[in-house]
């Protein structure tokens, strides 16, 4: 069975999310625009992504505000930005095994769309939006907090997600490795550019990341390399 087929078993995904969800709403949330365009212009998940982004931001903001009464607004904003970033959401998506469930068009399928940080992060937001529509704010907010809790409870990974380039430099230094070197490639039209960053840390690690900006692509690559090197360092 094709993984892009709408009949793909979603049980493992729902189990990882810890929610029940209307099947039609779930399929909608998993439908990337590339799949929609290749299948007669069926609805895709970008409106759900827009909705989920708001639910995500509100839920994380409330948690950080309540649990960090000593922190000023600037520090809270920085923490929130890291938790809801494309890099962090893509990490969460990989943890729950989201990639195989994506409904992608042939072009995205052939270019590694199932592991693209931007697609994974956007689909996570769409899933949150779908849960909000189907189950309400309380359930959607509880889902958000379950998803982000492991990141918040792991200071090293939280710091890496907040500033992966600095974290990568630090772990490279601990291993007496050269400073990370980044290379950037861009593709697509000006209004929809996609950037791919490759970071190399001597002979110890090479990692690739992608994003809608050079900064996001480098951050994704840096977090991937940091994950590899931090395991070696420990």
- Exactly one of 27, 91, 125, 210 is catalytic; which is it? 125
Determine the Cα–Cα distance for residues 231 and 234; give it in Å rounded to an integer. Answer: 5
Determine the Cα–Cα distance for residues 11 and 227; give it in Å rounded to an integer. Answer: 29
Strand order in the sheet with 194-201: 181-187, 194-201, 205-211
Catalytic annotation present for 5? no
52-69 as b/e, with b when 16 or more CB fall inside 10 Å? bbebbbebbbebbeeeee
Determine the Cα–Cα distance for residues 34 and 183; give it in Å rounded to an integer. Answer: 27
Catalytic annotation present for 134? no
List, in order, residues 6 or more apart from 214 with CB less than 8 Å away.
184, 186, 195, 197
- Exactly one of 53, 109, 210, 218 is catalytic; which is it? 53
Residue ranges for the known binding site are 49, 122, 125
Residue ranges for the known binding site for Mg(2+) are 49, 122, 125
Active-site positions? Answer: 53, 125
């Amino acid at each position: 069975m094709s993984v892009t087929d709408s009949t793909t078993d979603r049980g493992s995904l729902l189990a990882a999310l810890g929610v029940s969800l209307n099947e039609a709403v779930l399929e909608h949330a998993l439908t990337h625009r590339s799949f929609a365009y290749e299948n007669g212009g069926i609805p895709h998940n970008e409106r759900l992504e827009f909705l989920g982004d708001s639910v995500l931001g509100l839920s994380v903001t409330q948690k950080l505000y309540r649990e960090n009464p000593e922190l000023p607004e600037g520090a809270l904003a920085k923490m929130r930005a890291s938790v809801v970033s494309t890099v962090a959401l893509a990490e969460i998506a990989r943890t729950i095994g989201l990639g195989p469930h994506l409904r992608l068009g042939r072009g995205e399928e052939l270019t590694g769309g199932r592991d693209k940080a931007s697609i994974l992060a956007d689909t996570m937001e769409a899933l949150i939006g779908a849960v909000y529509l189907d189950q309400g704010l309380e359930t959607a907010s509880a889902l958000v907090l379950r998803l982000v809790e492991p990141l918040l409870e792991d200071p090293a990974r939280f710091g890496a997600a907040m500033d992966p380039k600095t974290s990568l430099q630090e772990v490279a230094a601990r291993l007496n490795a050269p400073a990370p070197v980044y290379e950037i490639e861009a593709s697509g039209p000006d209004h929809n550019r996609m950037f791919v960053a490759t970071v190399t840390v001597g002979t110890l690690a090479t990692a690739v990341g992608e994003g809608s900006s050079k900064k996001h692509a480098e951050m994704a690559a840096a977090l991937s390399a940091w994950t590899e090197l931090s395991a070696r360092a420990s």
